Amino acid sequence: MRTAYSVESVRAGERVVMDRGPEGVLMQRAAAGLAAECARLLGKVYGARVTLLVGSGDNGGDALYAGARLARRGAGVSAVLLAPERAHTGGLAALRAAGGLVVGADEARAEGVVARAGLVVDGIVGIGGRGGLREDAARLVAAVRDAVVVAVDLPSGVDADTGEVHGDAVRADVTVTFGAYKPGLLIDPGREYAGVVRLVDIGLAPADLGRAEAEALQFADVERLLPVPGGESDKYRRGVVGIVAGSERYPGAAVLAVAGALRGGAGAVRYVGPAADAVIARFPETLVSTGPPSKAGRVQAWVVGPGLGEDAERLGEVLAADVPVLIDADGLRLAGERDVRERRAPTLLTPHAGEAAALLGVAREEVEAGRLSAARELARRYGATVLLKGSTTLVASGEGPVRVNPTGTPWLATAGSGDVLSGLAGSLLAAGLDARDAGSVGAYLHGLAGRYASEGAPVGAHDVANAIPAVWREVGRPDRG
């Protein structure tokens, strides 16, 4: 599991470690890790041109000490100081002693120093930052030409706790972060600004950090959660998932949701609705019925909503069932907040940003800019687990860290791929995973299936569904090294 901690937790953890060890040791560890990553990126340090952008706090201190290390190995290091009178004193002395040059941000040559660099180190601001880059910093960042950009701790201008970006921010190729991941490095738009993220161990133990704010499942976590049939299993014990989707107008949504569900671990898939002929024609193994959901036979979880149209009656029956329910697409529009809150069994809502915006009564852009708070707010209002789809898919419940999906590709933004995801995640719910796990494992597999199916080319939603077994095999392989 990749876990991310809030600024408050990181600061508390740092205090614990500082109380245990000598003054300045954390910054030296941070600077050593940063310098090592810069050296790796440069390949040859001797003769390289490195420019440090140095702000008023310890983030700039890290950059200066790392710069000193690189200068001692023969790099030509220049520091551009945004606040010369407040730049980290020890770091500045170390850089000067190692032969580094120091330039004020307002000096005529400052931008040229940035433009000529082969590597730019962003030490403008770290976890002490608020808001986007200020004007002088933004001007210097705009002067970067071909340099590799390395952000210290996080890209300046990105909100560490949320990934929100208000105004300008540094676009890094690599971010070297210290002690723990911050949520803003995992969640878009911040994640995109961060580039590749490297974590440097500076001696903070999980116990020093307290409660995680966000977490991303890794391969091994997903493998552990995948439902696998045993000797005792039969199709009913594996779980039956019921799909209430599709309409005369949108039969395809039903077919795609069933396509996802058949690959998701349930032992059987029931389809209930007017697209039964289309479903059976494509997937003869589906148990279909055209009557009301309450008469369709037992299921361990329902999926309701894709292509449903205005069928509030079928939705109401599903919500009244005492099993987990996944609500997607039209179902989200039709389900009342209270109907969901009052359910006794778990509910998983799977909106995209537009649907989440409609439910929250805000603009879509607001959800996209503040994904974490939107997902949390929806989970709170509905008393449900919320899987917010999009460039960074998040799964939020009332309690526990928000799950951030690390897989996926923008090629998944194709009609019907959300229907496949709801079938898949619903199938995992029926197989016994709780709503958080079903949502996050579903998103993980779906994201990888998107990558497998696409390999850089456009794909249809059915291609994504077809790729799920290969992904499952890869993730679930016990001998995987």
Binding region for ligand ADP (CB under 6 A): 329, 352, 389-391, 393, 408-410, 412-413, 415-419, 421, 446
Distance of CA 395 to the CA centre of its chain: 9
Give the residue among 45, 58, 137, 61 at the shortest CA–CA distance from 95: 61
- The DSSP code for 23 is T
Residue 55 binds which one of ligand ADP, ligand NPW, K ion, none, with CB within 5 to 8 A depending on kind? ligand NPW
Tell me the closest approach of the beta carbon of residue 161 to ligand NPW, in angstroms: 12
- Could you tell me the CA-to-CA distances from 326 to 274, 288, 466 in Å, in that order? 19, 19, 22
The mark string for 118-157 relative to ligand NPW (x by CB under 6 A, - otherwise) is ------xxxxxxxx-xx--x--------------xx----
Was 341 annotated as part of a binding site? no
Q: Which does 118 bind (CB under 5 to 8 A by kind): ligand ADP, K ion, ligand NPW, none?
A: none
CB 288 within 8 A of CB 271: yes
CB-nearest residue to ligand NPW: 126
CB of 11 to ligand NPW, least distance (A): 6
Binding residue count for ligand NPW, defined by CB under 6 A: 27
| Residue 121 three-state SS | strand
Contact 220, 20 (CB under 8 A): no
**Binding at 133: pick from ligand ADP, ligand NPW, K ion, none (beta carbon under 5-8 Å per type):** ligand NPW
Of 148 and 394, the one with the shorter C-beta distance to K ion is 148
In the list ligand NPW, K ion, ligand ADP, none, the entry touching 382 (Cβ below 5 to 8 angstroms by class) is none
Q: How far is the CB of 62 from ligand NPW (least distance, A)?
A: 5
Find out whether 432 is annotated in a ligand binding site: no
60 has binding-site annotation? yes
Annotated binding residue 392: yes
Question: Residue 260 Cβ, how far from ligand ADP at the closest point, in Å?
Answer: 10
The answer to whether residues 81 and 104 touch, using CB atoms and an 8 Å cutoff, is yes
Complex with ligand NPW: residue 202 or 269, whichever CB lies closer: 202
User: Cβ of residue 50: shortest distance to ligand ADP, in angstroms?
Assistant: 34
Q: How far is the CB of 380 from ligand ADP (least distance, A)?
A: 22
On whether 130 is known to bind a ligand per the annotation, the reply is yes
Task: Enter the tokens of residue 47.
Answer: 């003769």
Q: Does 327 bind ligand NPW (CB under 6 A)?
A: no
| DSSP secondary structure letters along 327-396 | E-THHHHHS-HHHHHT-SS-EEE---HHHHHHHHTS-HHHHHHTHHHHHHHHHHHHTSEEEE-SSS-EEE
131 known ligand binder: yes
Q: How far apart are CA 372 and CA 333, in angstroms?
A: 21
Task: Give CA separation, 379 vs 238, 338, 394, 397, in Å.
Answer: 28, 13, 11, 6
Residues 236-269 as b or e (16 or more Cβ within 10 Å = b): eebbbbbbbbbbeebbbbbbbbbbbbbbbbbbbb
Question: Looking at beta carbons only, is 172 or 424 nearer to ligand ADP?
Answer: 424
Residue 480 is assigned to a ligand binding site: no
**Those residues with Cβ within 8 angstroms of residue 231's Cβ, 6 or more apart along the chain or in another chain:** none
Coil, strand, or helix at residue 71? Answer: helix
Contact 368, 346 (CB under 8 A): no
Question: Site for K ion (CB under 5 A): which residue of 10, 77, 82, 152?
Answer: 152
d(C-alpha 364, C-alpha 196), whole Å: 27
Which residues, 36 to 55, sit near ligand NPW by CB under 6 A? 55
Residue 417 interacts, among ligand ADP, ligand NPW, K ion, none and using kind-specific CB cut-offs from 5 to 8 Å, with: ligand ADP
The interface with ligand NPW within residues 50-79 (CB under 6 A) comprises 55-60, 62
Contact criterion met (CB below 8 Å) for 215 and 276: no
List residues forming the annotated binding site. 58-62, 122, 126-132, 153, 156, 253, 307, 352, 389-393, 418-419
List residues forming the annotated binding site for AMP. 389-393, 418
Residues that bind ligand NPW (CB under 6 A): 14, 18, 26-27, 30, 55-60, 62, 124-131, 133-134, 137, 152-153, 178, 202
